[in-house]
Every structure is written in C-alpha cells, then in structure tokens.
Amino acid sequence: MPKKKLKTTAMKNLKITSQSPILNLEKDEISIVVIVGKSMTLFNKRNQAFFFYTYGNEECPSKIYLRHVVDGKSNVFGTGGFNFSFCGKTYELENPGDSVNIEDGSIAVCLKYSYMLELLESSFYVYGQAKVYDFMKEEFLIPLS
C-alpha cells in the first residue's frame, strides 16, 4: 500500500501536518474541525463562540470570523470585509471600523486583523476553561491527532 502524502498548511505560525485532509476532534467542550489548506473552525459550546478561519489564495485573502452569542444576541465580527445577512437584509462591511446595529440588538463589525486576534484571545474561552488554541501566537496548544 503506498504511503499517503502529508499535507501541510499554515496560518502565519499555525502549521498543521496530517495524513488526512480533515481533522475533527473535541477537547473541553470545544469542537475543532480543520480542513487542511482550506479552513479551521473552533466552536466553544460553553459560551456559544464560533471561530472560523479561511486560508487565502491569489483571488481571495484569508478571513477570520467570530460569532459570539451574548444575552441571546448573535454578534458577528470579521476581517477583510464581508457581507452579513439578517432577516432578508444584506449588509456590506468592507473596511475595518464598518459596523451595523441589527434590529434584534445584535451587531456586525469589520475589524483589523490584530484587533480580531485580541478579541478572540479575550472572549473565546470561559473562565477556567483549558485553551486549545492561542489566538495571539496563532498556534494550537494541543496535539491534533
């Protein structure tokens, strides 16, 4: 049986080497899904925080999204410009600082990359929860296997 070729991808410092194109695991109520070379998703079940990263290419730059539910309101943050739809309305957030207040009290905001990393580091985990990913260093703190 021929050996599988290892696939490697990176998000700045994040390097994932795997024999499988899809990694799927859970640690301390955080679901982790990595599609090597395409995207990375972290979902924290404790506070309903959803982090999504897409790898860039020549046609589309990489983007980060964070959906965080606070008091029943789904707040959405993104980098690199994005469209946000709610109740049939689509909002374009193209530049850092662009924001919209949604009718239900939620917000959508486009942030600078560095601000997004700071927001993720300070709000993704709940107090006392073991971290699986360091957003500032952009690296996993657990083995991916």
Q: What is the three-state SS of 13-81?
A: CEEEEECCCEEEEEECCEEEEEECCCEEEEEECCCCEEEEEECCCCCCCCEEEEEEEECCEEEEEECCC
> Taking every pair of C-alpha atoms in the chain, what is the biggest distance, in angstroms?
58
pLDDT at 3 over 50: no
- Average pLDDT (48-70) is 84
Which range marks the domain in which residue 56 is found? 7-138
**1 lies in some domain:** no
**2 lies in some domain:** no
Please state the domain count of the chain. 1
**144 lies in some domain:** no
Q: Give 2's contacts (C-beta < 8 A, 6+ positions apart).
A: none
**123 lies in some domain:** yes
**108 lies in some domain:** yes
**21 lies in some domain:** yes
Q: What is the pLDDT of residue 25?
A: 87
pLDDT at 5 over 70: no
- Average pLDDT (52-71) is 82
**117 lies in some domain:** yes
